[in-house]
Structure 1
Amino acid sequence: MIKKFLCSTLIALFVCSASFAQTKPKETKVEDPDNLASQYFSQVMGVAVDATSNLKLYKFIYEWIGTPYRYAGNTKKGIDCSAFAKAIYDKVFNTNILRNSRDIFSMVNPLSKDELKEGDLVFFKIKSKSISHIGVYLGDNRFAHASSTRGVVISNLNEPYYSRYFYKGGRIIEPGDKNFVEE
């Protein structure tokens, strides 16, 4: 219900922006719809979305917020953390990554928290000696993920729970990168 309201509000903002742009004199600067979307996502998602942010990433995440967690799931009826990360990389970054968080970690250059950039991956060892959880970093210590208790949400790496279990960040190794190994 709230999601539909927020989506309707975003659509209304775009419609108002478009009609406002049509009625203003030509010499007046028109509000950029991408800027409106950035402001909207900043407010709704609690993430500082700016002009350099990937709006496609935020739109994709917004469409999934609230989707329940389901182990091995990969649809809006239920999804797990690695399937969610895989879907983001497929649809937003046009990059195919593996399906499980431990395997995905083999595809990255490890990073510390302070090296993370928007779109990087974050890995956790939750009550385990091996990687057991993954999310996608958004900036400002926030990341999107499929939580086993809350479904698809945005969380903060500084929350005590995530801070305790954070393992490493990672950036996908691209072909041509010195660390890229073709299989």
Structure 2
Amino acid sequence: MGKATHYPDTGHRAPIALAGLVVVLLAAGCGRDDIRPAPPQAGVVGQREWPQVTPADPAAANSVLMRAISLVGTPYRYGGNTPDGGFDCSGLVNYVYNDMLDLKLPRTSRDLAAYQGPKIEPRKLATADLVFFGSGGNVTHVGIYVGEGRFVHAPSTGGTVRLDHLDGSYWRRNYSGAKRILR
């Protein structure tokens, strides 16, 4: 592995290759046409503490995490559900869970939000939980939680699969809940 880099906002160390990936991810875009996240910030104002919660099946959660992160940079495409063709938000979730765990999930973000499984409080999120966004009680977007308040998702036309922080102003304002798929 490469030399470690220190991130002053998190106090963690990561290999330089990972540091470069995170910078690229934060600069990218993802989701539906109506999703307009705020530009990435060096430090997120009002950032919450994100306790590390051990998933019920750490091996399965890790495989979901690694596959989701490996797809960062894949182009957004409405209705897309493959790395070659691009992804929309629920297409990404479906692809990752099917590819890594042979688990078939509902296709839309709304149906995923209604899918079986307990709702999760933000402070109890574990790797591989699904996080949902919308307004007025309507779920319009979904991502995969990766830890430390971050999630991978496919946000908007012209963008790519990327990593964002739940404490970003857009995401915090439109957060509508989370579900645990792995039990």
- Please give the range of the TM-score, normalised by the shorter of the 2 chains: 0.5 to 0.7
Deviations 1:120-146 (A, max 9, x none): 000001x55410000000000000000
The 1:40/1:104 distance shift into structure 2, 3 A limit, reads farther
Q: Residue 178 of structure 2: which of 152, 169, 172 is its match?
A: 169
Q: Aligned residue for 2:99?
A: 91
| Matching of residue 73 in structure 1 with residue 80 in structure 2 | yes
Asked whether the equivalents of residues 45 and 154 of structure 1 are also in contact (C-alpha less than 8 Å), the reply is no
**CA positional deviation for 1:44:** 4.3
| Matching of residue 122 in structure 1 with residue 131 in structure 2 | yes
What aligned pairs does 1:12-23 form with structure 2 within 5 A after superposition? none
Q: Residue 57 of structure 1: which of 64, 79, 102 is its match?
A: 64
Letter paired with 1:68: P
- Distance in 2 (alpha carbons) for counterparts of 1:167 and 1:157: 11
Letter paired with 1:118: T
**CA positional deviation for 1:172:** 2.0
- Distance in 1 (alpha carbons) for counterparts of 2:21 and 2:104: 26
Q: Which has the higher contact order (CA 8 A, sep 6+)?
A: 2
**CA positional deviation for 1:162:** 0.4
- TM-score normalised by length of structure 2: 0.63
Letter paired with 1:84: L
- Distance in 2 (alpha carbons) for counterparts of 1:95 and 1:87: 9
Asked whether the equivalents of residues 124 and 165 of structure 1 are also in contact (C-alpha less than 8 Å), the reply is yes
- TM-score normalised by length of structure 1: 0.63
Asked whether the equivalents of residues 153 and 161 of structure 2 are also in contact (C-alpha less than 8 Å), the reply is yes
**CA positional deviation for 1:43:** 3.0
Higher-Rg structure is 1
Q: Residue 19 of structure 2: which of 40, 43, 61 is its match?
A: 43
Work out the number of aligned pairs and report it.
Answer: 134
Deviations 1:98-137 (A, max 9, x none): 1011111122311121110000000001x55410000000
| Matching of residue 100 in structure 1 with residue 108 in structure 2 | yes
- Distance in 2 (alpha carbons) for counterparts of 1:118 and 1:173: 9
Deviations 1:5-27 (A, max 9, x none): xxxxxxxx59xxxxxxxxxxxxx
- Distance in 2 (alpha carbons) for counterparts of 1:148 and 1:163: 17
Percent identical residues: 30
Q: Aligned residue for 1:7?
A: none
Question: Which sections of structure 1, spanning at least 5 residues, go unmatched?
Answer: 1-12, 15-37, 175-183
